[in-house]
Amino acid sequence: MTVSSAPGKVYLFGEHAVVYGEPAVPCAIERRATVTVEPREDDHVRVEAEDLSIDGFTVEYSGDAGGRPDVDVPTPLVDAAMGYIDAAVDQARDALGMPDAGFDITVESDIPLGAGLGSSAAVVVAGIDAATRAHGDPLDPREIADRAFRAEYEVQDGQASRADTFCSAMGGAVRVEGDDCRTIDAPNLPFVVGFDGGAGETGELVAGVRALRERYGFAARTVETVGDVVREGERLLTDADPDEDASDDLLSELGRLMNFNHGLLEALGVSSRSLDNMVWAARMADAYGAKLTGAGGGGCIVALDPTAETETALRFTPGCEDAFRAELADEGVRAEDDRAARRREDEGEER
């Protein structure tokens, strides 16, 4: 049995604009998807996923996915979940040179599905890592990031960027511009996440921005301005001391840019009333800044606030289903079975 986990993410800056070659800065957070893999002797794949839908599901198939679980949840969410798992299996088989490899796969996640926190990327990253390690052929995190991107690119019909998968594989804060992906030595940031319980339709939202951008020159310039915001935010992060907590001055400047970024995304039509309500609740609670994160249309906002005020305010905001603090995840994809073995060794030494 091989177990891997990978973190979700929030966008500090840059969603949607990253699709058009502008930079983005996503940050990994300590909300993880965990994938357990056991090799099989046949070519079947059996998937048990208790956390990717309301009821959870189990499905078994051979070759390409021929079945779908019969559960009382929205079909697009289940199809998306299975699509990402299928793509991860394909990438693992390709990396191993074993096109008929079979797997028993269990997926657990504390990242809301479709909420803009990178749940699909985390599942794919952790799945590829666990499946390849289960056959004794572990991959470098950067190769996992590349293969996970290819999986998302396939499932999302060519609309994926490298941002989510690179961030999940590498951890910490990262900077992505087209195929140029690099890590940022950033200080810890006091993230607070608000979740409205919904999930925007990424394809429709991306298509909506594309239509605006093609029709109006000022919409295209708005996308470029998001890129300018990202570059300024990146400069602030790289100038900061990664070994110290973020200063009030840094948080104030980052928060101002987050507010600006949200306004630009709202102008591009990807916000919603529930997201705006949560953003304003965070600002009224004296958060340094707040914005939607992910594709928008529903899902999550992210705020910067080291105090408990924003989390408390969000819990009393109409339309907010959940609010939680999310620490920056320094580690990306990791082997949880190795960590468990080390813990057992440490406990034995203490005795």
Nearest to 93 by CA among 83, 108, 103: 103
Return the CA Rg of the chain: 20
* Amino acid residing at 175: R
Is residue 28 within 8 A of residue 145, CB to CB? The reply is no
Is residue 25 within 8 A of residue 49, CB to CB? The reply is no
Round to whole Å and give the CA distance between 258 and 255: 5
List Cα–Cα distances, 208 to 125, 219, 292, 342, in angstroms.
28, 11, 17, 49
Partner residues linked to 8 by β-bridges: 29
Q: What is the DSSP letter of 201?
A: -
3-state secondary structure of 17: helix
Cα angle vertex 172, ends 168, 175, to 5°? 80
Is residue 188 within 8 A of residue 327, CB to CB? The reply is yes
Q: Among all residues, which ones are annotated catalytic?
A: 164
Q: For residue 119, what are the contacts with CB-CB under 8 A and spacing of at least 6?
A: 8, 33, 52, 109, 111, 112, 113
